[in-house]
Structure 1
């Protein structure tokens, strides 16, 4: 059983969506001072220890059982600065509250029905991430949880998982997520609202990212205006919010989850470094009215230090596997979780013990592996040649991806869509080239997505005993194209 179970049984939606006290606002300078002192001179005795162990950004009241989790130490002082001492799982919730969520919504004028309440943390969770920081493997793992996932919420029944925060805050969200993921322990939580996310990006100087297509959407009723042009560009806080909230394409919320992963990878690679640690006082000062977390100052510093030292390009970006519900299957549109594949994923990346029936001995057999071929170079012949190479190597379920990859790639990528790096490595060897990326931005119907780069048309893979037949066939296929 997970250690973070909370006995919450809400019978009705609680009427608690009022602005919180701004008591922290009266002491804005204090948080900055404490962190600066902590950075400069860690280990100055009991007084400083009290400062470092404090939780000045916690705004919600938790149960006694949940509060007890904070006694489980996760840091130690190394050379005067805090470091992680064990793997840590942190639930991150990006929340948004519209007036349509409020208990008196029915009495509100329709013209204001969907007005956003920017400063509130108690709405639906628009984004849900389970993050694992593992000092043993030196790996950062991020699991995206689609907000429309159909789960059981205690005291409510079967519904969308994003309702857990609305009905019971961080405690109920942690309980629900833990159950869905096989009773994985959750050590800490972070909640941030949409307004706070934009301010965070601005405080860090924005993020460079490739916008894959024209994103334009307008909804006057909820004051949502999205207007982004395609191509490589620098996003400030407001534009980053637009990029993260856009969901008006064929994949709906799953497409948004994939864009969130792309954004998060760019954010980690560009912004989570040693220089950023020095900005933490300013960042937290900006966020403190838009964030709620039971992380202490010491723990925040330890997490930042861990990420700054990891190989961030190897960050693993996963998504809860599943499928869209069929029309008429339920009264609402859901993401139906594939618990068998989810169990395998949790075993591989979160150290969760799986039930024996959830482990598939044939999962690495080429004839069972679903491989999508995605073009980034606008060369249809490349997709055909890659399909032929894999078919010749024994892969029986190879198909073209529904949409091409918008950003032209120099190097071919082997995307471990379901988080299985071993399977991705098998595909890479069959192709004789490619770099493995563990993320869920490929075809949702695949186990592995091969994202073709320019090198696919020009490289000459070395023939080895393990992949001689595919590589030789590959040379034969591409020879006319490069002659």
Structure 2
């Protein structure tokens, strides 16, 4: 397959056409704020830094990493030492090449730190430390050559090899070997992807950051209730549009006590990311900058330098919705026997496809597999419970168009769907864009918030209208 085109049943779409297709949105979307900050609650502190270069410069005028942990020379060598920034005529740093950053949200309690000096409070209190299990893990790619940002969510229960520990959950890596072992483990899992930098953020900092930001508005997709007296963890959120302060935001991010466990939590985290990004450029952010910078310094450990932060800020601040991709590590649940651990089992073939399309690591077989007929894609059509009739008509239309593996999802979307979305669940934005072209409506988004078993999920919104058809010579219905 050539770099410039991809095809389906004789129809070729070049890269310029693809860009037009993938960025097509409804009228309301086109009116939204075009500037987006960095994705991920794990990188939220840096997202705020991106709001103003001046604030970042105020943090430090040196090129010293904002690091709190010390790495040995061997651990330093795990990360690529190649220069990441250059300088423009005004001596402002800018990204000189693609950069991959491993982000970890760390949760540490008093029982994780035996020599912790905190008095016995009768429960497992949170500790501001980076030496625990990674409660969340993201690999971010900032690519100035292709002009996009990609966020790959890696479930904490992913089964993989951690050097010195054997086969275990990937969240063990930071606990046993810090950021270097975590980076090595992620690289081995992801086709030896190069990792340039790391960021560790303590979960306490997330709560304080959201408070400094003034909270976040989002639609809570279901009632969330859970109690763990041993951690003083009390989650009690109601379904519906909510304004979440730091404590409630942390409840939303930590909840994983439903049918999908940690995978459902990853999906909700992506919902949270979108909501947070939309609000991050609020003018109030600038007024709270001193508090936000304090949170960054107290709860952030990274080998990024100030110049690199400025370069990332400048690059990401110019991105719009279509230039930001979010995808979850492909895999499936295991069915553990009694007493065995529950894992997320990675799908290595689909991982290779994601790494090829979004991280420029292309195995020989990927091109051939990607040239296969997209009509063989597994497409889920999802709607609100009261819109199933329209959703069925979408299923019928796609089948008439030639898509053979389309099904009506019984997993209802439990939040309002004003606009139709074509969700590239497995990261395949090329095929999603082609489906969008065939439908003639909808916004292509790359994220893993659709139906888990699908390649593409079409979330039918209120903007969908029943198309008129003509019969072509092949006997199939064609949309006018």
- Give the structure-1-normalised TM-score: 0.80
Q: Deviations over 1:171-196 (max 9, x none)?
A: 11011001111111111111011101
Q: What is the CA-CA distance between 1:206 and the residue it aligns to?
A: 1.9
Q: Deviations over 1:341-361 (max 9, x none)?
A: 00010000011132x245553
CA distance in 1, matches of 2:309, 2:154: 23
Query: Structure 1 451/364 Cα, relative in aligned 2: closer, same or farther at 3 Å?
Result: farther
Aligned 8 A contact 1:91 1:129 in 2: yes
Query: Which structure is higher in RCO with an 8 Å CA cutoff and minimum separation 6?
Result: 2
Matched with 2:272 is: 263
1:192 to 195, 201, 209: 201
Q: What is the CA-CA distance between 1:367 and the residue it aligns to?
A: 4.7
Query: Structure 1 412/468 Cα, relative in aligned 2: closer, same or farther at 3 Å?
Result: farther
CA distance in 2, matches of 1:291, 1:466: 63
Please identify, of 373-382 and 61-70, the stretch whose mean Cα deviation from structure 2 is larger. 61-70
Instruction: After TM superposition, list the pairs within 5 Å mapping 1:224-263 onto structure 2.
Output: 224-263=233-272
Q: Do residues 82 (structure 1) and 89 (structure 2) align? A: no
Q: Do residues 72 (structure 1) and 87 (structure 2) align? A: no
CA distance in 2, matches of 1:379, 1:416: 22
CA distance in 2, matches of 1:369, 1:232: 33
Gapped runs of 5+ residues in structure 2? 1-49
Instruction: After TM superposition, list the pairs within 5 Å mapping 1:161-200 onto structure 2.
Output: 161-200=170-209
Aligned to 2:317, the other structure's residue is in SS state helix
- Flag the structure with larger Rg: 1
Query: Structure 1 276/74 Cα, relative in aligned 2: closer, same or farther at 3 Å?
Result: farther
Please identify, of 459-468 and 261-270, the stretch whose mean Cα deviation from structure 2 is larger. 459-468
Aligned to 1:208, the other structure's residue is in SS state strand
Matched with 1:431 is: 439
Aligned to 1:232, the other structure's residue is in SS state strand
Query: Structure 1 277/189 Cα, relative in aligned 2: closer, same or farther at 3 Å?
Result: farther
Instruction: After TM superposition, list the pairs within 5 Å mapping 1:326-341 onto structure 2.
Output: 326-328=335-337, 331-341=340-350
Matched with 1:373 is: 381
Instruction: After TM superposition, list the pairs within 5 Å mapping 1:28-427 onto structure 2.
Output: 39=54, 51-55=61-65, 57-67=66-76, 69=79, 71-78=81-88, 79-102=90-113, 112=122, 115-271=124-280, 282-312=291-321, 314-328=323-337, 331-354=340-363, 356-357=364-365, 361=369, 364-376=372-384, 378-427=386-435
CA distance in 2, matches of 1:257, 1:70: 28
Aligned 8 A contact 1:196 1:290 in 2: yes
Q: What is the CA-CA distance between 1:460 and the residue it aligns to?
A: 3.8
CA distance in 2, matches of 1:254, 1:93: 16
CA distance in 2, matches of 1:133, 1:466: 47
Aligned 8 A contact 2:383 2:417 in 1: no
Q: What is the CA-CA distance between 1:396 and the residue it aligns to?
A: 2.4
Give the total of aligned pairs.
Answer: 427
Aligned 8 A contact 1:316 1:438 in 2: yes
CA distance in 2, matches of 1:58, 1:436: 38
Q: Deviations over 1:120-171 (max 9, x none)?
A: 1111111100011112222111000011000000011000000101111111
CA distance in 2, matches of 1:233, 1:63: 45
Cα RMSD of the aligned pairs, angstroms, is 3.3
CA distance in 2, matches of 1:41, 1:323: 41
Q: What is the CA-CA distance between 1:450 and the residue it aligns to?
A: 0.6
Gapped runs of 5+ residues in structure 1? 1-34, 43-47, 476-483
